[in-house]
Homo-oligomer: A and B are copies of this chain.
């Protein structure tokens, strides 16, 4: 049973790494199994099917402590959206959302898990909807331009400088008065 738990976790880890980075429909079970060094058939044994494996990777992924102040919100969003890859299997939540936005079913699944959390957090900490919109636009736009559309050169590529500029933008957006 110890061994089974081990392979279960290996599958889960590599599934999260691959699917979150490249998208649900762009990663095959055989790829995941090969990366984990186990047989494909074990996916169906331990998680039922591909969907089950993916849903397992979402469990607890959006759990964050509640935020009250604007500073806490900035910190939470930076942690949530900017990837600080600890290893090859670490991918930001924004990547997850974007990579699966096109798939109707999977996209809805992801959104259902995080939308309420993020949206209410932003609205609560900012106080009004216009500032929340500006805030979301700033954080989303920077991340999307940099990470997904590969619009290099628009934002500085150096991670430290990037994060610094990001924080500055977020703070400005929060202070915005229409």
A interface residues (Cβ-Cβ under 8 A, vs B): 22-23, 25-26, 97-99, 101-103, 107, 111, 115, 119, 122, 129-130, 132-134, 136-142, 144-145, 148-151, 153-155, 165, 169
Contacts and interface: CB of A to CB of B under 8 A. Distances in A.
10 contacts: A25-B25, A26-B102, A98-B98, A115-B151, A119-B151, A119-B154, A133-B145, A136-B154, A137-B138, A140-B141
Contacts of A133: 142, 145, 154-155, 165
A149 B155 contact: no
Given A129-B154, A154-B119, A154-B129, A145 B137 contact: yes
B150 A140 contact: no
A165 B130 CA distance: 9
Contact of A97 (B137, B142, B149): B149
A99 B97 contact: no
A170 B47 CA distance: 47
B119 A153 contact: yes
A148 B103 CA distance: 11
Contacts of A98: 98, 101-102, 144, 148-149
A136 B129 contact: no
Contacts of A26: 25, 102-103
Contacts of A119: 151, 153-154
Contact of A141 (B102, B136, B150): B136
Contacts of A154: 119, 122, 129, 132-133, 136
